[in-house]
Amino acid sequence: MTTDDDGGNQYAVAVFYLDESYEYVARWVDGETAVRTFKRMTESIAARCGLVRRVIVTDGGDNCNMEWIYGVGHTYPPELVARTGGPRQ
């Protein structure tokens, strides 16, 4: 994830829904917790059904560290995209 120089060691996980609303499901958490929450949200039944449209992890500097989009898959960071086979076509 990031270091203190580029936003700190606190992260947030935001989930965007089908109705275009969103919520933070985790805020001010460490990197490990953010990654576990991201994984749990992207593998949830709501995500598989399309009720969850996007999940992102941001750091303390509001930089996007991870992104998943319904129907596309993991889109960021490149290391995760390569490991998961990249976005679906």
Q: Three-state secondary structure along the chain?
A: CCCHHHCCCCEEEEEEECCCCEEEEEEEECHHHHHHHHHHHHCCHHHHHCCEEEEEEEECCCCEEEEEECCCEEEECHHHHHHHCCCCC
Mean pLDDT of 59-84: 92
Asked whether residue 21 carries a pLDDT value surpassing 80, the answer given is yes
- 42-70 pLDDT, tens per residue? 999 999 999 999 999 999 999 999 999 99
Q: Which two tokens stand for residue 69?
A: 């989009």
- The reported pLDDT for the residue numbered 81 is 87
Asked whether residue 2 carries a pLDDT value surpassing 50, the answer given is no
Give the range of the structural domain holding residue 70, as residue numbers without chain letter.
4-84
Tell which wins on pLDDT, 80 or 76.
76
CA distance 17 to 84: 23
> Residue 67 domain-assigned?
yes
> Residue 89 domain-assigned?
no
> Residue 72 domain-assigned?
yes
Tell which wins on pLDDT, 4 or 47.
47
**How many independent structural domains does the chain possess?**
1
- The reported pLDDT for the residue numbered 89 is 43
Model confidence, pTM: 0.84
